[in-house]
Amino acid sequence: MPAIRRVVFNQKGGVGKSTITVNLAAVAAKQGKKVLLVDLDPQGNASQYLLGAQAHPDTPTLADLFEQILSISIFGKDPEAFVQATPIAGLSLLASHPELAELMIKLESRYKMFKLKEALDKLAPQYDEIWIDTPPALNFYTRSALIAANRCLIPFDCDAFSRQALYNLQNSTDELRADHNPHLFIEGIVVNQFQARASLPVRLVAELIAEGLPVLQSTLSVSVKIRESHDAACPMVYLDPRHKLSREFEALYQELSTAKHTTAA
């Protein structure tokens, strides 16, 4: 069975993309899956979250892979050479690097938007799941991710601005599916930083459901513990397995794993 490829994306920043990507990938690894996380955001939050102080400046990153793609060398390394281990068993990483920001213009001008998909096609047989973290913008990297993935997960933080970004993303995904990737579909909307006792979040989520949008049942709560998780460079399910947020990440992963989709993956 081919590896599931999920891209986590919202054009609005601050909705928890990196946190959700890392924690769901960690849940998958904890359950015995072989997982690859791809960090396409030049800010590198997902990479920092996973590696922390163990990040080494000489370790190959996605920037090195894209540099190789631009060089068009027939003696290039296999994409696996740019993958590194993380402290979590079963979870590997194609790490980000600040140079990704500078490389984007070159990659876009030379029409390299399908190269990430080609790299992941080579890597996919080695993994059960591939998770892709993205920048908060519809740019070369996010388009590359949407072309390379077969499922899109959208974080929503119960905010009016996030709601508008959600509509824009739906339109962009529909267009990209029609033009480049017929296998891509929106797997679900993840309600993040949800406060069940606050009227605005409850109303916004209810309205999205009423509109027929694919809002997932599993929600993620607000918790200061997630900041401790970031600081410790340790996903919640490992830092504090019994914490409410850890259980919510596990429930969300279970919902994604058991959902029946009508669109081919």
Q: Which two tokens stand for residue 248?
A: 């919510």
* Residue 264 belongs to a domain: no
pTM: 0.93
**Cα(181)–Cα(173) distance, integer angstroms:** 9
Q: Is residue 215 part of a domain?
A: yes
How many domains does the structure of the chain reveal?
A: 1
Residues of the chain with pLDDT under 50: 262-265
Instruction: Indicate whether 265 belongs to any domain.
Output: no
At residue 261, the pLDDT reads: 57
**What is the percent of the chain where pLDDT is above 70?**
96
Give the pLDDT of residue 198: 82
Residue 206 belongs to a domain? yes
pLDDT score recorded for residue 75 = 66
Answer for the pair 90, 129: CB distance below 8 angstroms, yes or no: no
CA trace torsion 69, 127, 12, 180 (10° rounding) = 60
Q: What is the three-class DSSP state of 247? A: helix
| 136: in domain | yes
pLDDT tens, position by position, 4-34 = 999 999 888 888 999 999 999 999 999 999 9
By residue count, the chain amounts to 265
Q: Where are the alpha helices (DSSP H) in 12-57?
A: 17-30, 45-51
